[in-house]
Structure 1
Amino acid sequence: MNTALPAILMAWITVLAVSMAWAGQQTAQPLSLHPDNPRYLLFRGRPTVLITSGEHYGAVLNLDFDYVKYLDAIQAAGFNLTRTFSGTYREVPGSFGITDNPLGPKRFQAPWARSDSPGAWDGGNKFDLKRFDPAYFARLKDFMAQASRRGIVVEFVLFCPFYDDKLWEANPMNAKNNVNGIGNCKREEVYTLKYKDMLAVHEAFVRRVVEELNEFDNLYYEICNEPYFGGVTLEWQERIAQVIAETEAALPHKHLIAQNIANGSKKIEKP
């Protein structure tokens, strides 16, 4: 009797089942508020509370960070949430006195491609804010996929204010670091509606991210980390939320949008 065929058939069925399960995760409805109790979340058909601790915000933007090992550690601890910064903000060695700060990478992966012109703050070529780097989105989508396989939700933080001048001096959106002449302004003016060319950079980045990540159900967006520092205006935050909603209107899936309100307490006038 030939036992090879049944063995091959069983292996094929197993692979097919795994593939179908993975495909099902990718087509599932994204994390949402629970319809019966919006104080809870609904994720992959189950009421969910998100729990995490000790986040490494530089998981994607830091090319030396092993996010697979990190996600394995989260899963092993029973956590189901991670928070990562997009790369529109970076820190520098010594920022906030943090040793081996993953947000202050030696090798920085920005969303934007490098140009042929030298002279960026980090010693590399300046950035072209009109062109995105395919390597960035490949790394980001792999990070999302790795998290999804482990049942981990990602809070994707789109922007963050610049807490001091050193952080603004190192940023690709600073005119000194890009070839587009964009960002000749104070750090407190970056996340406002004052400069149309800067706002266009923000909007283009948000649209691209939303398009690239639409397939993932283990995702929600945070507009800006700690917007109460550094001159981030409410009008600008509302515009970014609008761009997310407008972009997703033409896409299959709609994701939750989080807004960071206060460092302490604040009354929400318009929930």
Structure 2
Amino acid sequence: MFMPGRYFLLTTLLCLLLIGRVSSQSVIPNRIALRKALSKQDAGYSMRPDDERYEGFYNKEKGEEDFSVFSLLKGKLDYVMSGKEKLIIIAPKIPGVDSAFIAGASFNFWPDYRLDIHLKSGDEAHVPLNAAIKTKNLFKDHLGIYGYTGLVGSPICYIPVEVRSSVNAKNNSEYVLTLISIKSVADVTWDYLPANSGLLTEPTVGDDTIASVSERSPITIPLKFKQKFAPGTTVIIQVWGKINGGKSKERLQKLKIIIPKA
């Protein structure tokens, strides 16, 4: 006998289960990496079964920015190439920010590596090296990681993240920004300004300068701010330099970062 009430209840439960399943897939993959992924036998870019991260190797399409954000870390990135090693990536707690995307990528390494995770503030993800990184011996000097808010693959604000491992148990040190330079650059400097500053406020110039950087090399900048910012503050950072032997400085990159809780 047909029972409308029972049918409605079963249909409702099924819809709730489907909604829960869809909403749990909170990580959206990098579409280019997914399309160009290597085979699973070669640790190709794909969703990993142990959590909701997308990770692996792919054949990158040509076309790169001249100066792109490669890494923004709290402290340093360090790990040993061991089958038992894992990276523990921690999304910092930030007032007004409930979650963040975490991106990882390789540079000057073939095949190209990509990592995409979505974490709630304060949560952490465990990335075993055996899943992909160790299969191609992707060492730390070729790997960059950062957090961001905005749309997937389109950061609005960058977030420094902490990455722990067996040889890097805890980081309480400064923020370190790394850009990748496709061109040669000299006399690299940087400055910063809180985003809520007035229009006539001059940015503060950072102490660290870099004499020269060859093409296809990292530009690493310890972000030593001269004043303390409250957690949740958005800071605008500009990086300047003389490109390809030029006589005048040009802006290489402008980005916003959000200061997390200590």
TM over 0.5: no
TM-score normalised by length of structure 2: 0.25
TM-score normalised by length of structure 1: 0.25
Higher helix share: 1
Higher strand share: 2
